Structure 1
Amino acid sequence: MKEAIIRRAAEHDLPEMLNLYRHLHPHEAQLEPATAERVWSNLLTSNFMTVIVAQAAEQLVSSCTLAIVPNLSRGGRSYGVIENVVTHADHRKLGLGRRVLAHALDVASQADCYKVHLATGSKREATLRFYEEVGFERGGKTYFEVRREVALSGRHVGNWPSADQSGA
């Protein structure tokens, strides 16, 4: 394999990103082209988001998304959140995911983030150990999430809990 280049994603990368994301969520329905273009444009023009990619030849083979969140605590220092870490199945175990994450941590450092969270839905021990080897720690904080289910049609099914339903 030719040496991969680690860089920020660009507008022309959308088709390759959509192909790469099939390795992240293989059973998820493909986005409508207009939706994909709108979301991609929002990601690339946001002051808070960075999509980092590894490119080998003309193919994107690994990626992650870094959000830099402004913050009024911790002396006004931002924090980062990494999501959607993916490496093409044919290019795993070559250090590409590690390089993409290292680049994300460099971007977070340049933005003076005081911490970076990484979210994963994986329960595989090998995946969790990989994140630890990159420098992330398990068990520091407890994170919770609430999801709205999406039907195969792409429409939301159900609603967020309302304040009177939350018990708070």
Structure 2
Amino acid sequence: MHDIIIRPATDGDLHGMLELYRHLNPDDPPVGPAAAAAPWSSLLRSGLTTVLVAEENGRLVSSCTLVMVPNLTRGGMSYALVENVVTHAGHRRRGLGHRVLAAALDAAWAANCYKVMLATGSTQEATLRFYETAGFERGGKTFFQARRP
């Protein structure tokens, strides 16, 4: 895996991210580059979010989004959220997801966040074990509500 680069995403990664996200929720309607340009720019420039990518030979093969939220509790320490964890189906089981999650955790700890949260809608045991082996603990503290149609 010497030719894998873990790095923050850039403006030029939009097309690769749209392609990679097809492996996250394959049943979602695709978002075209024109519709994605403004949200992508906001993600990259918000100052609160970092999209971390694993790049292999110029192709994005894994990613996660890290959001660090300023906070007035816990002594003013921020907290972080991880979302949209995805690895290209043809590149799974190679540790790429763990590597982007490790980069997200490193960034959160370096920014003095007091916790990092991740929620998954998956009930698949393999997915839950993946997050545990990446250092996350299963917990009963999470509540979730999705936007209703």
User: Is TM > 0.5 for Structure 1 vs Structure 2?
Assistant: yes
Name the counterpart of 1:79.
79
Name the counterpart of 1:4.
4
Dislocated runs of 4+, deviation >3 Å: none
Counterpart residue type for residue 93 of structure 2: K
Name the counterpart of 1:61.
61
The structure with the larger Rg is 1
CA deviation after TM superposition for structure 1 residue 140, in Å: 4.7
Compare 103-112 and 27-36 and name the one that shifted more: 27-36
Percent identity over paired residues = 62
- The two structures have a TM-score, normalised by structure 2, of 0.95
Q: Deviations over 1:24-54 (max 9, x none)?
A: 0111111143320001000000110000000
Closer, same or farther: CA 83–91 of 1 in aligned 2, 3 Å: same
Q: Give 1:119-158 correspondences, 5 Å limit.
A: 119-149=119-149
CA deviation after TM superposition for structure 1 residue 143, in Å: 1.9
Count of paired positions: 149
Q: Deviations over 1:7-34 (max 9, x none)?
A: 0000000000000000001111111433
- Separation (CA, whole Å) in 2 of partners of 1:124 and 1:14: 29
CA deviation after TM superposition for structure 1 residue 94, in Å: 0.3
Compare 84-93 and 27-36 and name the one that shifted more: 27-36
CA contact (8 A) 1:54 1:96 kept: yes
Counterpart residue type for residue 139 of structure 2: G
**Does residue 50 of structure 2 align to residue 50 of structure 1?**
yes
* Structure 2 residues not aligned, in runs of 5+: none
* Structure 1 residues not aligned, in runs of 5+: 150-168
Compare 131-140 and 75-84 and name the one that shifted more: 131-140
- Separation (CA, whole Å) in 1 of partners of 2:7 and 2:111: 16
